[in-house]
Amino acid sequence: MSLIQVRNVSHGYTAGGLFSKRHRIQVLSTLDLDLHEGQSLGLLGGSGSGKSTLARLLMGLETPDKGRITFNGQTLQGLDPQFLQRVQMVFQDALSAFNPQRTIGWSIAEPLRHLSNMPSDACKARVEQLLVNVKLLASDHDKLPSQLSGGQLQRAGIARAMAVNPQLIILDEALSNLDRVLQVQILDLLTDVRRESGTGFLLITHDLSLVQRFCQRVVVLAEGSLVEDREVTPRMRFEHPAARTLQEAVLPAMPKARQLQKAVLSV
């Protein structure tokens, strides 16, 4: 049973203005995508391939020019609370995703306040539990965003997305600003979350190695449409040139000496 169905979606923006001719930039064209419940799907694509536009469409922040996005069989219409209870999002830049004047706990409790009718002391307990779940301290509740590091804040962002127990969390380049160690830690954390609560994930990234570690299925977005859609296996090979480029960009686990240099050394 698919959670979100994307059918025939086309979307674009109008660019230009006072000093240049107005023209239409087509970002997505006739795109189809199915997101299954409890699955983690990797959405790969190079810069400017339309990844973030797709995320905004899925999140209901924009309505597609053409085509239809349905959630549990219902057409998506703006941001209604029932939809937000099921789908949440983690932002790319963790520092700007938190109001600098509010404490971490206040920000994480925000979805609870607006989307659930939990009393405030239960909210606090839930937030502290979430903080512990994402390997932060319960005492971080009263800290300001500027007192946490980038990695800690990103985990707080994930805690906020998890607060209402959604069925799907969209990670829009949410790991791109972090270093390798943190990326792996957070992915392992999310894997645990998926096992325990059955939450599905959409991991938007340009880094195939993250997808290989975390996702069961991967789709590749290039020039506004999906060019690859396959199960993630350790030995999978993409066929489309754009997808091949992304695959070749991944560095091997261990550096290898070039054949030529070997030959020189052996002489």
Q: Which residues bind another protein (CB under 8 A)?
A: 59, 61, 79, 81, 84, 88-89, 91, 93, 96-102, 107, 110-111, 113-115, 144-147, 160
User: Pick from 133, 188, 127, 183: which is nearest to 154 by CA?
Assistant: 183
How far is residue 81's CA from residue 33's CA, in Å, rounded to a whole number?
Answer: 23
Shortest reach from residue 22's CB to another protein, in Å: 19
Residue 223 is encoded by which pair of tokens? 């020039």
H or E segment at 83?
A: helix 81-86
Shortest reach from residue 157's CB to another protein, in Å: 8
Shortest reach from residue 18's CB to another protein, in Å: 14
Answer left, alpha or beta for residue 165, where phi above 0 means left and psi between -120 and 50 means alpha: left
CB-wise, 113 or 195, nearer to another protein? Answer: 113
Shortest reach from residue 98's CB to another protein, in Å: 6
CB-wise, 104 or 243, nearer to another protein? Answer: 104
How far is residue 102's CA from residue 108's CA, in Å, rounded to a whole number?
Answer: 10
CB-wise, 92 or 205, nearer to another protein? Answer: 92
CB-wise, 140 or 228, nearer to another protein? Answer: 140
Shortest reach from residue 177's CB to another protein, in Å: 13
Where helices occur in 92-218 by DSSP H, the ranges are 104-115, 120-133, 150-162, 180-197, 208-214
99, 195, 196, 214 from 189: Cα distances, Å: 25, 10, 11, 10
CB-wise, 89 or 171, nearer to another protein? Answer: 89
